[in-house]
Structure 1
């Protein structure tokens, strides 16, 4: 694990500084943000993207969400895994790893990447793009630090990984609200959180100590510390 910095209060500006410092003078860098479902990793990624675009220009930073590598429901039905959607094996981990490696190896190419449509709960091909001008790529997802061959290959392409930590009760409340918002019955939403999301959170936590930085999603902003 690399040395960490200490940031107090709403540390978005300091986090943006750290992200910007990852970029070499003559190349590009990939920042990974991991966290359990409902931890706030997508929120942090979105805030960093907006902050760095204001600071450095729209094309200086690009977004590659791991959610774009969800297997479509048609494949999950074929595999009998639709009721486990969101588990590690319901993603195309190899495709994700290959894409991250290509982003590093081919900086002069326009590289189209999949996104994820929350209303449909489906991946969308070529929804996003990494332009040649992009110096920093932010990718966020649950399993970037999972210790399996495919996920290790994805991790190998990333320059630094930050782990977003949130109180479990807060995470679970957010997840239940999210599932209800996107169409689940409240009882079904609560059951899904307990039987699908929380076992996934346990898996994610097993890799957390490999992160380069811990970012606490606190009530008063982002707080960063060397230890959990």
Structure 2
């Protein structure tokens, strides 16, 4: 995936050069579970930030947090932070179904995600920070995003700060650019919509291995069940309901997902 990440990083670096100083480039990366979304997003962020450090000549194209050209230009946000909490799933009409299907689009805070993307689209020079609930704070132009704690198995509010220096924001997750409300309101605000394509059989092979390795499933049988009864349906829903991607990227083997 390194070659693809290099090419995409250069593409975004070139695009950033024509973005106004008070604006951001916001990229959404979607794909079925185990397609390699988070791996690609993190690689691109790392490469763009490395380019900032070694390219003083291009430093004027980036707003900086501390006034120096080596501040990070790009930041990675995972959609997992907008999972509904387990306590919220407990009060669904069918709590067991809600927990079993955790990961389906209706088990996410779609409205909260839309508010976050809208806050990113505000001019950096406003002097305001927008909290994840949509409220504004006089706190150095920071936009806050949640993250997901795999230890607690719940989201953590306002865990990631998108600062003025972060001119490139990459958000990855299944539903980053769904074409249905409320997600569609965020999808239309993205500068780039990248879809990672992978065959369903290959996705299942990766998922089963990952579920067993990470402890999401206690054994192979449960891992196969989760893949077929939850992950695969969510992936099909994405394909049937996503907004048209601006770029389709063929998934390649991810060393982190290879069965041991």
TM range (shorter): 0.7 to 0.9
Normalised by the size of structure 2, how large is the TM-score?
0.76
Measured after TM superposition, the shift of residue 156 of structure 1 is: 1.8
User: What whole-Å deviation, never above 9, does each CA across 1:73-121 have from its counterpart, x for those lacking one?
Assistant: 1111211211110000000011001111101115241122101123333
Measured on the aligned residues, the alpha-carbon RMSD in Å equals 2.1
* Stretches of 4+ aligned residues off by more than 4 angstroms: none
Matched positions, count = 214
Q: 1:120 to 1:170 in 2, by over 3 A?
A: farther
Partners of 2:191 and 2:203 lie apart in 1 by: 27
Structure 1 residues 117 and 9: CA distance shift in structure 2, 3 A = closer
Distance of aligned partners of 1:188 and 1:136 in 2 relative to their CA distance in 1, 3 Å threshold: same
1:196 matches 2:230: yes
Task: Say which SS state the counterpart of residue 98 (structure 1) adopts.
Answer: helix
**TM-score of the aligned structures, taking structure 1 as reference length:** 0.87
User: Partners in 1 of 2:150 and 2:48 — Cα distance?
Assistant: 24
Q: What is the DSSP-based 3-state SS (H/G/I as helix, E as strand, rest coil) of the residue aligned with 2:121?
A: helix
Bigger mean CA offset, 140-149 vs 128-137: 140-149
Choose which of 90, 101, 104 in structure 2 pairs with 1:84: 101
Rg (Cα) greater in structure: 2
Q: Which residue, 24, 37, 42 being the options, matches 1:41?
A: 37
**Structure-2 change in CA distance of 1:106 and 1:9 (3 Å):** closer
Give secondary structure in 2 for the equivalent of 1:64: strand
Contact kept? 2:180, 2:241, Cα under 8 Å: no
Give me the whole-angstrom Cα distance separating, in 2, the residues matched to 1:139 and 1:198. 21
5+ residue gaps, structure 1, are 1-7, 222-228
> CA offsets per residue over residues 17-55 of structure 1, 9 Å max, x none?
222233313221101100011110011001111111111
Aligned to 1:182: 215
User: 1:13-52 to 2 correspondence within 5 Å?
Assistant: 13-23=6-16, 24-26=19-21, 27-52=23-48
* 8 Å contact from structure 2 (residues 179, 243) kept in 1: no
Q: 1: CA distance between counterparts of 2:86 and 2:246?
A: 34
